[in-house]
Amino acid sequence: MATFICGESQSLYRPPYIDGENYGYWKTRMTIFIQALNYNLWDIIMDGPNIPTTIVDYKGVPKLKNEYTIFDKQNFQLNARAMHVFYCALGPNEFNRIHSCLSAKEIWDKLKSTHEGTNQVKDSRIDMLIHEYK
């Protein structure tokens, strides 16, 4: 009798799960999942939510909550939805890394720098590999 081992499903409705392993694989799947869900979510993750401002004395100042437009509220809603997708996709250890983040962009950037490193770390790794190759 054959035994089948069920892994993570390839659901259209549940985001890909990460517990800290195979970040590159997860990142690719998560990117496509979010874009397919709502491309505006992807824009919020890449660009961050816009903080609503108004002009006072030729300077942009944050709006008061009671001054928010429907567009401003939709922007915050998109950020909250994107953050929710991340919360549903992360295991406990990954969640503990990002639980204090205030935006989906901040979550994405934190996960990326944690698993891929900063550009400086990447450059050091490349230099080390080139040195080892020679």
In the chain, domain spans:
23-133
Q: If you write DSSP's letter for every residue of 10-78 in order, what string do you get?
A: --SSSPPPBSSS-HHHHHHHHHHHHHHH-HHHHHHHHH-PPPPEEEETTEEEEPPGGG--HHHHHHHHH
What pLDDT score does 2 carry?
Answer: 52
What pLDDT score does 5 carry?
Answer: 46
Residue 1 has pLDDT above 70, yes or no: no
pTM score of the predicted model: 0.78
Q: Mind listing the pLDDT tens digit for each residue in 93-130?
A: 999 999 999 999 999 999 999 998 866 666 666 767 77
What pLDDT score does 6 carry?
Answer: 44
